[in-house]
Structure 1
Amino acid sequence: MSCNPVSREGTKHQIGEKKASFSLYLFPARSCNAKNRARGKEEEERVRIGSCVSTRGGAGRDASKRLPSQHLSGSLTSSGYVAGDPSDQQSDVVGKKGLFKSKPRTPVDLVRQTRDLLLYSHRSISSLPDSSKPDEKMVELSRNIREMKFILYGNSEAEPVAEACAQLTQEFFREDTLRLLITCLPNLTLETRKDATQVVANLQRQQVNYKLIASDYLEANLDLMDVLIQGFENIDMALHYGSMFRECIRHQIVAKYVLESEHVKKFFDYIQLANFDIAADAAATFKELLTRHKSTVAEFLTKNEDWFFADYNSKLLESVNYVTRRQAIKLLGDILLDRSNSAVMTKYVSSMDYLMILMNLLRESSKSIQIEAFHVFKLFVANQNKPAEIVNILVTNRSKLLRLLADLKPDKDDERFEADKSQVLREISSLEMQDLA
């Protein structure tokens, strides 16, 4: 018995269906015998397990629900959807990801990339158009500086690693990264300036092979101190530059350069700036400069004591600003009571003009200033080689001084202070007028 042939139009339609679905096979309308019915089942089974299921036929959708997922796996290529072992394909994808995965940055890489971004900032910041959208490279620069800070200081989860700190420090000072950072600091955001200031501070203490390489770098680049000290005149940058400057003068060669330059004279003005925070920062820096490196300070004062103390007394001790006077008298006591400055102290306490200034400070309404002034005044009285004019001034003002000192007491009991005061009172009481030469 012959089968009913498929019409030409039906065949064309089904061929079109096959082309659209890639794997949809043609079936006769009905089977004429068992052989054809078996063939039809075979064809239907091929549809169910084919690599691609028609999205147009309902049977295709049902088949996809019945099949395990691995039968639908494969990779889409330019020639179509190709079946394959899912484990092989997954390992292949992982391999490709591993191949193109970026390696973590080393401290050396981090510094080099930061240096490139600083160069970009230095070149382009003035030409960038005003825009509310942040520059991506400047954002990346901020991230890099923050990351350097984490390497140097660690965080709540991890302590800094010595080897990483050494690598970062060595690369940082290998080229002019510090100079770039100082120059570009005004281009950074406030938070990034703070991070940069902490990075610079930490790097001054980092040792590489037991050596402070920051000191060697600054010795070859002392002009950077000129840039930093000018920062005190920039109200937005003063505290950042001041902090960096203070850390740099931890190195004796740097402090010596500043003391021997004209920069030291500027502090008499910076300490009296109207901005309290900047003035206080300048005072802290001035104190560091005059107390840290004792031999260098003693040498400086010996060579420059005449102009230095003349300016110190007239501009600071006699300042109209209470805070300036209080800080200045405290620092003066620290300087003169230091053993390394004994020669300078002896000359200072032999000056009648300086004694008059101290006696006026003893009359201040502020007890803090009175107490600090006493510690310097006692040096004049204790001097065993007092000039005649010093003795005569003390004798002339004896009664006033005795009353003033008798009432002078610190807020807290201080046995050492009371012992010194008793000795001073006895010394003044025993003085006699002397003939002037």
Structure 2
Amino acid sequence: MPIPATQIAGLTNGINGSRKVKPNNLKKLFTKAFRSTAVKSIFKSKAKRKPPAEIVRRVRFLLEAVDSLDDNVDPSHFDKMEELDSLLHELKAMLYGSNECEPAVDACAQLTQEFFRENTFRLIIICLPKLNLEARKDVTRIVANLQRQPVNSRLIASDYLEANSALMDHLVCGYDDPGLALHYGTMLRECIRHQVVARYVLNSEHMKKFFDYMQIPEFDVAADATATFKELMTRHKSTVAEFLSENYDWFFVEFNAKLLESANYITRRQAIKLLGDILLDRSNSAVMTRYVSSKDNLRILMNLLREASKNIQLDAFHVFKLFVANRNKPTDIVNIIVANRSKLLRFFASFRIDKEDEQFEADKAQVVKEIAELEAKGPLFSGELHKFPGTPTASGELYKLPTTPLSRQLT
């Protein structure tokens, strides 16, 4: 790296100028030039890199200092933050490697072990708001990578998080701060890779907050919360099945009222797709049977079939067909479908998708056949449906069901 131009100019002027430069002055000029940051960096880059564990310990020391310092008073705050930024960037480079070299397995293992040995992991999450944007990005990637780093063939991150599960409360509540939400959300999804973490979050008091987080006005934050919610509800099959079995009532009241019946198109579209993923999973067969036995759920799905969006219609169809295919349909379900038979058959006769799909056509044909052959159980009151009773939401209020019979809603 060249010596700064201003210093070279000074040397040139001193040598070529009219005034003769004394040897001592010339020596001072060269000394000053070689002490510059630019020249120092040449030698620093060639210096031996510190061991990973030592860097982590230094990061821990700096995080503790940053956590306790008052940045408006302590004069050393800036220097400590500058060093911390540099070390975090170095840790990220160790874990991810570079264009020139792959990450060293031994170095990554040492780094990971030291990170979880003390409270460095907790500190780096707690101190995130005090870091600048670039440091936050580095921390997010470091935390994500550590979840996948094996030490002696074990993911020690899982053991650490099981013993320090309260950290997940901090990550979930990160969605309350738009400036931190995307960083904490990314970390949370990576931590959910561990089944023990997913189980903790699912059964925590924070789980209900996701129904509100997914409707936050800031689109990127709402989308991130939706991605985390989907990860929670689909990654660990047995844990999700257990959760839904134990929390069926409040979960689907919230899911239906706040997501499927949301005024926001994107929320409805993502919700109906996720509902299909949940119900069609074999692990959730008992939950699926219970869901398709509800007339209120059927009403919601029939209304979603009427959406202008083909995407919502298609995903709604994949859930609606479960109601029709159920061999043990309750009387209410049978009578609703029979009362709306003509409208449903007319709808499916013109229901098309953009791409040719043999499976879709086969499913639709089977649904049409089932509806056509279905026989009513009891009187249908001249084929009209009476107004359904209100269904309580989580807030205790009633959301109003349409007074118009379903047979008149499908067009």
Please state which band the TM-score falls in when normalised by the shorter chain. 0.7 to 0.9
1:405 aligns to 2:365 (yes or no): no
The code of the aligned residue for 1:371 comes to: L
Aligned to 1:394: 337
Q: List runs of 5+ in structure 1 lacking aligned partners.
A: 1-100
Question: Please, what is the CA RMSD of the aligned residues?
Answer: 1.7
Pick from 124, 138, 145 the counterpart of residue 69 of structure 2.
Answer: 124
| Structure 1 pair 229–341 and aligned structure 2 pair: CA distance change class (3 A) | same
Structure 1 CA distance for aligned equivalents of residues 365 and 259 of structure 2:
29
Structure scoring higher RCO (CA < 8 A, sep ≥ 6) equals 2
Distance 2:94 2:353 in 1: 46
2:58 — aligned with what? 113
1:279 equivalenced with 2:257 (yes/no): no
User: What is the SS of the residue equivalent to 2:296?
Assistant: helix
Deviation at residue 123 of structure 1 after TM alignment: 0.9
Return the offset for 1:126. 4.5
1:230 is matched with which residue: 160, 173, 187?
A: 173
**Alpha-carbon spacing, 1:416–1:128, altered in 2? closer, same or farther (3 Å):** farther
Q: Is the 8 A contact 1:256 1:296 kept in 2?
A: yes
Partner of 2:42: none
Q: Which amino acid aligns with 2:51?
A: T
After superposition, what is the alpha-carbon deviation per residue over 1:386-427, rounded to whole angstroms, capped at 9, x for unaligned?
011101101111111112222222221111111111100111
Q: Determine whether 1:341 maps to 2:284.
A: yes
Q: Which structure 2 residues correspond to residues 1-400 of structure 1 after superposition, within 5 A?
A: 103-128=48-73, 135-400=78-343
Cα-to-partner distance string for 1:46-68 (whole Å, 9 max, x where unaligned)? xxxxxxxxxxxxxxxxxxxxxxx
Q: Deviations over 1:326-354 (max 9, x none)?
A: 00000000000000000010010000000
Give the direction of change, closer, same or farther, for the CA distance of 1:188–1:125 in structure 2 (3 Å limit).
Answer: farther
Deviations 1:332-383 (A, max 9, x none): 0000000000001001000000000000000001111000000000000000
Q: CA separation in 2, counterparts of 1:152 and 1:268?
A: 35
Judge conservation of contact 2:95–2:108 (CA < 8 Å) in 1: yes
The 3-state SS of whatever aligns with 2:178 is: coil
CA distance in 1 between counterparts of 2:332 and 2:368 reads 19
Q: Please report how far the alpha carbon of residue 136 of structure 1 lies from its aligned counterpart in structure 2 after TM superposition.
A: 1.8
Q: Identity of counterpart residues, as a percentage?
A: 65
Mean alpha-carbon deviation: is it higher for 187-196 or for 326-335? 187-196
In structure 2, what is the Cα distance between the partners aligned to 1:252 and 1:223?
Answer: 15
Tell me the alpha carbon deviations over residues 213-261 of structure 1, each in whole angstroms, 9 at most, x when there is no partner: 0000001100001111111000100000111111111111111111111
8 Å contact kept, 1:336–1:344: yes
Q: 1:351 to 1:142 in 2, by over 3 A?
A: same
Task: Give the deviation of 1:139 after TM superposition.
Answer: 1.1
Following TM superposition, by how much is the alpha carbon of 1:104 offset from its aligned partner in structure 2, in angstroms? 2.8
1:57-107: CA deviation from partner (whole Å, max 9, x where unpaired):
xxxxxxxxxxxxxxxxxxxxxxxxxxxxxxxxxxxxxxxxxxxx9753011
Task: Say whether the 8 Å CA contact 2:66–2:77 is kept in structure 1.
Answer: no
AA aligned opposite 1:183? I
TM-score by length of structure 1 reads 0.75
Number of residue pairs aligned between Structure 1 and Structure 2: 335
Higher alpha-carbon Rg? 1
Deviation at residue 185 of structure 1 after TM alignment:
0.5
2:290 aligned partner, one-letter code? K
Deviation, structure 1 residue 180: 0.5
Distance 2:70 2:281 in 1: 48
TM-score (normalised: structure 2): 0.79
Q: Tell me how far apart the structure 2 counterparts of residues 313 and 104 of structure 1 sit (CA, whole Å).
A: 56
Residue 302 (structure 1) shift: 0.5
Task: Indicate if the aligned counterparts of 2:88 and 2:138 stay in contact, CA closer than 8 A.
Answer: yes
8 Å CA contact 1:358, 1:373 repeated in 2: yes
Preserved CA contact (<8 Å) 1:125 1:187 = no
Q: Secondary structure at the match of 2:252?
A: helix
Shift of 1:134: 8.1
- Say if 2:116 and 2:160, in contact at 8 Å, map to a contact too: yes
Q: Quickly say closer, same or farther: Cα 1:301–1:235, change in 2 above 3 A.
A: same
**1: CA distance, partners of 2:77 / 2:120:** 23
Q: Distance in 2 between matches of 1:405 and 1:239?
A: 41
Contact 2:71 2:77 in 1 (8 A): no
Q: 1:301 corresponds to which letter in structure 2?
A: L
Contact 2:69–2:77 under 8 Å retained in 1: no
Q: Which amino acid aligns with 1:122?
A: D
